[in-house]
Structure 1
């Protein structure tokens, strides 16, 4: 079974709930609803990261995080006592630990306007930052962060290509229970760089699989699975299919 056939079989029962975009090196090899907008969850952090790195600021610059209200959810910054942190550490926490508080500090540092202007200027037409992470009041008013599989994969690939400092953050991602699920801690012949997103009835993952010099990049976005285990199992099977195709 080839990769395309296998992917079509896996997503066939869930076509209203899934979006996929996949590249083999620089060739688009599979896409389905890749421009459909989904609630971004933590994938919006890719846009924040790309905007920050494009500023060419000194990443050792210190930021006082106390000016941004603490939020819960993923991340450890809310539990730590130092009030000043270098930008590079905040970005690392935002990606490797999916830290929501660190993300909000960076959003405040850059401004929502500047991030959206950067996204617009670089033609990320399916991506929009409308609120801070974990801002339930803003969400109640209909303000939602949005992204597409196409945009999320393009952001990820651009970051991996142009900013080598991000490689360690994605490779050491703490949330590995989706596309890398069946390989993490067991398969030593593959390196997987990834960034997840999750929320109510939302599970996303964007990843790079590297095995024997071959590279496959993929974004899988899902919404509307009432049984989250089904969505995670689907992603794990997609990751396993990619692994065996390399």
Structure 2
């Protein structure tokens, strides 16, 4: 992976803002980290950890993914997602709330799930996975008075989580499969797939050139994306975190890194 690492290092050398990149070749067990332990405000990328904690609670039997939760007026917050436009009183299965949290980054669904599992339990789950520098302290889109701490993540921690999911070792094989299935339905991108080849095919049922199972995180001055990129029977776990960079510049850089990782997985660099 040295060529890939060097190429990304060269790209970041003159980049504005602060960047962290961690890439792992899951098949080969090789990886590299560029500022991977740098702490960032998590934004919505922490929702992958919340999803995994929900599956862990289901695995232990404290909840069932088919159980319904009622949307209350007090649950509704702004930002991403469709639930803020729904009528209070509707009920949705937990699995659907998880799906909305990931593929549309729905903040209302996220907060409902945080209330369901509990902040301390989510933190304990992350600690148990080895996410040593990641923290959850607050719900999304709620400004608390005298907030002492913010949700934090690192690129190393997020890639650790992704790799365990890819290997079927996050919660269980079945749970890992379900999490990948949800993340593959992602409707948002911060650029990781922008430069990848089109996957349309005239042949019905053709195997796509690539698939992405990922999650984004964006607030003012911050743009993150983490994903499992599947190419040619290869699986790459990629986390790119950025801050203090314009949205356009950040997206262009993330797109270039996505293209670099894709070319590596295609066997075009070592």
Q: Name 1:19's counterpart in structure 2.
A: 20
1:168 counterpart = 2:181: yes
Q: Name 2:5's counterpart in structure 1.
A: 4
Q: Is the 8 A contact 2:229 2:235 kept in 1?
A: yes
The runs of 5 or more residues in structure 2 that have no matched partner are 201-207, 266-270
Deviations 1:132-186 (A, max 9, x none): 0012235x63431001001111222323423211222211101124211122745
Q: Is the 8 A contact 1:21 1:153 kept in 2?
A: yes
Q: Name 1:43's counterpart in structure 2.
A: 45
The runs of 5 or more residues in structure 1 that have no matched partner are none
Point out the structure with max Rg over C-alpha. Answer: 2
User: Equivalences for 1:72-91 in 2 at 5 Å?
Assistant: 72-81=78-87, 83-91=90-98
Q: In structure 2, what is the Cα distance between the partners aligned to 1:15 and 1:33? A: 15
Q: In structure 2, what is the Cα distance between the partners aligned to 1:185 and 1:68? A: 42
Q: Is the 8 A contact 1:68 1:105 kept in 2?
A: no
Q: Name 1:183's counterpart in structure 2.
A: 196
TM-score under structure 2 length normalisation: 0.84
User: Equivalences for 1:87-166 in 2 at 5 Å?
Assistant: 87-138=94-145, 141-160=147-166, 161=168, 162=173, 163-166=176-179
Aligned residue pairs, count: 244
Q: In structure 2, what is the Cα distance between the partners aligned to 1:32 and 1:76? A: 36
1:70 counterpart = 2:71: no
Q: Is the 8 A contact 1:63 1:85 kept in 2?
A: yes
1:200 counterpart = 2:220: yes
Q: Is the 8 A contact 2:130 2:157 kept in 1?
A: no
Q: CA 1:77–1:157 in structure 2 vs 1: closer, same or farther (change >3 Å)?
A: farther
What's the secondary structure of 1:143's corresponding residue?
Answer: coil
Q: In structure 1, what is the Cα distance between the partners aligned to 2:25 and 2:121? A: 32
Q: In structure 1, what is the Cα distance between the partners aligned to 2:33 and 2:70? A: 42
Q: Is the 8 A contact 1:68 1:104 kept in 2?
A: no
TM-score under structure 1 length normalisation: 0.91
Q: In structure 1, what is the Cα distance between the partners aligned to 2:125 and 2:95? A: 20
- Mean alpha-carbon deviation: is it higher for 188-197 or for 78-87? 78-87
The match for 2:56 among 47, 54, 57 is 54
Q: Name 2:31's counterpart in structure 1.
A: 29
Q: In structure 1, what is the Cα distance between the partners aligned to 2:84 and 2:164? A: 30
What's the secondary structure of 2:64's corresponding residue?
Answer: coil
What's the secondary structure of 2:144's corresponding residue?
Answer: helix
What's the secondary structure of 1:182's corresponding residue?
Answer: coil
Q: CA 1:125–1:244 in structure 2 vs 1: closer, same or farther (change >3 Å)?
A: same
1:230 counterpart = 2:249: yes
Per-residue deviation at 1:122?
3.3
